[in-house]
């Protein structure tokens, strides 16, 4: 996880990127959350595409387990370092950033993303959220690319 986060951070700072939109799909939600917290002044918006929505101190395995799913029951997911490493970030840096959560209603991870929907609806995920759904499987970029593109453009 730290290596993935550092790669994104290096890309942002190395190219002096500003006014950026971060998009994260699935595990990528972990990365964009930490990257935005690290570079909040450079981020214009965030799009979570059927993605993990972590709290500080959670790993991807923790997010999946919080959704009521055994992470080791997910096909292809193993207890590799990126998935068990805890993400540490200060959520206060994310409050002013507009965020969209796209939940795919036909996703094999619907139980996990349902918890993100509940957190956003209850306000416990913080402010500045827009929540939307698509009748898609876990990879809407493949079967509904125009709708995903429209969400990116909205940010």
Q: What is the pLDDT of residues 33-58, one digit of tens each?
A: 999 999 999 999 999 999 999 999 99
| CB atoms inside a 10 Å sphere around CB 18 | 11
Q: Would you place residue 76 in the very low, low, confident or very high pLDDT band (cuts 50, 70, 90)?
A: confident
pTM for the model stands at 0.96
* pLDDT of the residue at 14: 98
H or E stretch at 122: helix 110-122
* pLDDT of the residue at 131: 97
């Amino acid at each position: 996880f730290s290596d993935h986060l550092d790669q994104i951070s290096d890309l942002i700072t190395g190219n002096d990127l500003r006014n950026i939109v971060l998009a994260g799909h699935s595990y990528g939600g972990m990365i964009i959350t930490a990257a935005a917290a690290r570079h909040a002044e450079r981020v214009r918006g965030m799009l979570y595409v059927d993605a993990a929505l972590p709290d500080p101190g959670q790993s991807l395995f923790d997010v999946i387990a919080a959704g009521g799913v055994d992470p080791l029951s997910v096909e292809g997911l193993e207890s590799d370092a990126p998935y068990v490493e805890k993400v540490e970030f200060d959520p206060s840096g994310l409050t002013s950033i507009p965020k969209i959560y796209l939940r795919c209603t036909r996703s094999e991870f619907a139980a996990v993303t349902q918890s993100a929907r509940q957190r956003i609806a209850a306000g416990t995920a913080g402010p500045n959220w827009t929540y939307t759904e698509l009748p898609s499987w876990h990879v809407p970029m493949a079967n509904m690319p125009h709708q995903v593109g429209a969400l990116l453009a909205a940010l």
